[in-house]
Amino acid sequence: MRKVGAGVYSNVYQIGTKIIKIGTPRQTHKIPNHRRILQPIVRKELTNGMGEPIGSIEITDEVDASKEILNKITEEDLYKIYKELRADGIIWGDPKIDNLGVLKRENKPTLKGKDFYVAPNSVGFRSEIFPKPLQRGDFVITDLDYLYYENDKNKKVNKNSYVLEFERRYRSEAEQEIKMKENMRQKEVDTIKLKDEENRQEDR
């Protein structure tokens, strides 16, 4: 086992093709599931004798998160992922390029090189994964924290990320899309009215 990094909440180690994160309790242990979220083999909240969280451990398959790869990811790439989750009713409260990686294989947990089924609730997921898992070369979220359903209460966000900027943009685009649809419906109504009027005039 060798140490390969450290974050705000955990130290990161690697054994073979597995990445192990050990650290303090996460902001959110129970999170939504989505194809854009890296599927863990183990994701466990550690508690003391009183049942209070004192730490966390997470084991996932290795992804490519090298500087060379991360430097190629643009802010627009990041927003597209944020928007994809948002459109599926999920708020990603910590959208940062450093929280992404590129899959080296299909986004499924593996053990000894073979697909390994992990019950979603055993790793803190609140639902089954979306169909059609992402494939090698696709972007995935590697930091499984600050993830919520849009109707969740007491959501927390990392204000040092793009979340506030992206949320404003998403809402603005959603409002524009609604207005466009309303305008299109109104045009359809106007066209029908015009045709009805033309038909009435022909009947006279």
Residues 155-201 pLDDT 10s: 999 999 999 999 999 999 999 988 888 888 888 877 887 777 777 77
φ/ψ of residue 164, rounded to 5:
-70, -45
Q: Which two tokens stand for residue 203?
A: 């009947």
| pLDDT, position 7 | 75
Question: Does residue 125 register a pLDDT over 80?
Answer: yes
Distance (Å, whole) CA 176 – CA 197? 31
Using 50, 70 and 90 to split pLDDT, how confident is the model at 203? low
- Among 29-38, 56-65, 90-99, 187-196, the range scoring the smallest mean pLDDT is 187-196
Q: Which two tokens stand for residue 116?
A: 């390994």
Please name the residue ranges forming H helices in the chain: 67-70, 75-87, 163-203
CA angle at 134 for the pair 131 and 138, rounded to the nearest 5°: 155
Distance (Å, whole) CA 200 – CA 204? 7
| Contact of 140 with 39, CB cutoff 8 Å | no
Distance (Å, whole) CA 144 – CA 139? 14
Give residue-wise pLDDT tens across range 40-83.
999 999 999 998 989 999 999 999 999 999 999 999 999 999 99
| pLDDT, position 161 | 94
φ/ψ of residue 27, rounded to 5:
-65, -40
| pLDDT, position 204 | 60
Q: Which two tokens stand for residue 64?
A: 């490519």
Q: Which two tokens stand for residue 54?
A: 């004192």
